[in-house]
Every structure is written in structure tokens, then in C-alpha cells.
Structure 1
Amino acid sequence: MPELVKMYIRNVVIGFGIAGAFVAMLLWFNVMNLWSLVSTSDAGLLAVFLLWFMHGIVFAGVQFAWAVMAMADKNGGPRGGTPVEHQFQPVRVRAEAPTQQQRQLRRR
């Protein structure tokens, strides 16, 4: 298996683990009366699963993005490419009022 795929799977598992801990803390501390709502509902397990799954998607994406950005070379600056220097110059644009004939054409 390619190294990038291994890294992706590893970070997705870490992200879903963090999401599980996050949802467990939400339920443990009863944030917004969530534990009471989930424990008294007949669809409480589905709600907890969806809460964990959706947070898992977000945390897995963040975890993988952090891992990729952490791979950057910390000693040097940008690698490759030539720096582009822009010099903006003002450009004069003439603004003319429309003629009487142009105004009449617009009204039609």
C-alpha cells in the first residue's frame, strides 16, 4: 500500500477517535441537555451515531490537513518557482455621460 494511503488511513482513524472523545464529552457534561435528550428518545442511538460520524468527518479532515502541512520544510522558505513582483500602475478611464439618443434607446 502506498505511504500516502497509509498516512491518510492513520489520520482518519485518529480523527474519528478524537470525534468519539468529543461526543463522549458532550454527552458526559450534558451540553445543551444532550444526554437527557438522547437517553429518553427512541432514536437516541441513531442521533449519537450521526453526531459521532459527522464530527468524525470534520476531525478526520482537519487531522489529515494538519499532518500534510506539518510535512513542510521548516528551515527554508518557499521551494521552487520564481518570485513574481507586481507593480500596479493607475490607468485613466474616461467616463462620459450618455447622449440623448443613447438614453432614448435604453428606455425602449
Structure 2
Amino acid sequence: MPRLIRLYVASIATGFALSLVFLGAVLAMDVAGLRGLILGSSSGLVAAVMLVVFNGIVFSGVQFAIAISRLAEDDDAPRGGLRQHLVPIPVRVEARGKQLRRGRR
């Protein structure tokens, strides 16, 4: 199996494992009363599966993005540009227009 495919499958497995842990934490802490809704409803299993699947998709994508970003090589050497130093130049600007008096608008 190619290395990139292996990395993708590992990211998917990690994402869905994190999704299960996340659902467990949500149910344990009873966030927004979800534990009561899921365990007290006849379609609670469907809701739990949907939470795992949809969060698994998101977490898998994040895991894969992090894994791909970590594959990049370090870029230590500066590249491009002339490294010229900027010198500030004073510029006089004449004020034009009406001046507002205090208390009047």
C-alpha cells in the first residue's frame, strides 16, 4: 500500500477514535442535556451514530491536514529578496480644510 494511502487510513482511524472519545465525553458531562435526549429517546442510537459519523469526518480531515503539514521539510535558509534596509524619509504635509472649533460642530 502506498505511503500516502496508509497515512490517510491512519488519519481516518484516529479521527473516528477521537469522535468516539468525544461522544463519550459529551454523554459523560451531559452537555446541553444530550445524554438525556439520546438515552431517553427511541431514536437515540441513530443520533449517537450520526454524532460519531459526522464528528469522525471532521476529526479525520483535521488529522489528515495536520499529518500532511508535518511532512513538509524545514525551511531554515532565507530565500529571495535583497534584504535592503528601509530608511524613513520625513514628509511635510500641509493641513487643509476647515478647522473645527471646540463646542461647535
Q: TM-score normalized by structure 1?
A: 0.69
SS of alignment partner, residue 76 of structure 1? coil
Matches for 1:67-86 after TM superposition, within 5 Å? 67-76=67-76
Report deviation, 1:8. Answer: 0.4
Aligned to 1:49: 49
Report deviation, 1:72. Answer: 1.1
Letter in 1 for 2:31: V
Cα RMSD (Å): 1.9
| Structure 2 alignment gaps of length 5 or more | 82-105
Change (3 A) 1:56 1:73: same
Report deviation, 1:73. Answer: 1.3
CA distance in 2: counterparts of 1:25 and 1:32, whole angstroms: 12
| Structure 1 alignment gaps of length 5 or more | 85-108
Matches for 1:1-108 after TM superposition, within 5 Å? 1-76=1-76
Q: How many residues align?
A: 81
SS of alignment partner, residue 59 of structure 1? helix
Change (3 A) 1:77 1:13: farther
Change (3 A) 1:78 1:57: farther
Letter in 2 for 1:41: S
Q: Percent of counterpart pairs with the same letter?
A: 36
SS of alignment partner, residue 6 of structure 1? helix
Report deviation, 1:74. Answer: 2.1
Post-superposition Cα deviations, 1:30-85, rounded to whole Å, max 9, x if no partner, equal: 00000001111000001000001000000000000000001111243699xxx69x
